[in-house]
């Protein structure tokens, strides 16, 4: 079963600068338009391919999210991450829509290269 994380819990972790890796599981065009602060873009259908290079620590806390509560991409990405050995994966099931409707900050554009 997928562990879920609420908006309040996720916002608290980000505000407290706790180590959590956010993964947007939508196509790049949606990520560029708006994404949660500091999130990486790993589309759900490319998780197996991209995760090893972008998420080297398989024990890090990772939270996947997508567009809204009806979007399943975040669950698919989380399941794939667990299947390939990531041990601390959760889903922010309400997604970007919930975050934005709560008036919380988002970023735009591509992520800068690490």
Task: List pLDDT tens digits, range 29-67.
Answer: 999 999 999 999 999 999 999 999 999 999 999 999 999
pLDDT at position 113 is 41
How far the first Cα of the chain sits from its last, in Å, is 32
Contact in structure between 91 and 63 (CB atoms under 8 Å): yes
Superfamily of domain 3-101 in the CATH hierarchy: Rhodanese-like domain (3.40.250.10)
CA atoms within 13 A on the CB side of 20: 23
Structure tokens at 11: 């916002």
* Domain definitions of the chain by residue range: 3-101
Task: List pLDDT tens digits, range 63-74.
Answer: 999 999 999 999
pTM: 0.94
Own/partner contacts of 100-106, CB < 8 Å, gap of 24 or more, are: 100/34, 102/7, 104/7, 104/11, 105/37, 106/34, 106/35, 106/36, 106/37
Task: List pLDDT tens digits, range 8-22.
Answer: 999 999 999 999 999
């Amino acid at each position: 079963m997928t562990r879920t994380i609420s908006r309040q819990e996720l916002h608290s972790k980000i505000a407290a600068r706790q180590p959590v890796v956010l993964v947007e599981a939508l196509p790049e065009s949606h990520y560029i338009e708006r994404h949660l602060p500091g999130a990486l873009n790993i589309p759900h259908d490319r998780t197996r391919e991209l995760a090893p290079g972008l998420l080297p620590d398989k024990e890090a806390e990772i939270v996947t999210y997508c567009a809204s509560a009806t979007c399943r991409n975040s669950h698919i990405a989380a399941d794939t991450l667990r299947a390939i050995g990531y041990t601390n994966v959760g889903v922010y099931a309400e997604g970007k829509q919930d975050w934005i409707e709560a008036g919380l900050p988002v970023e735009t554009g591509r992520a800068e290269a690490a």
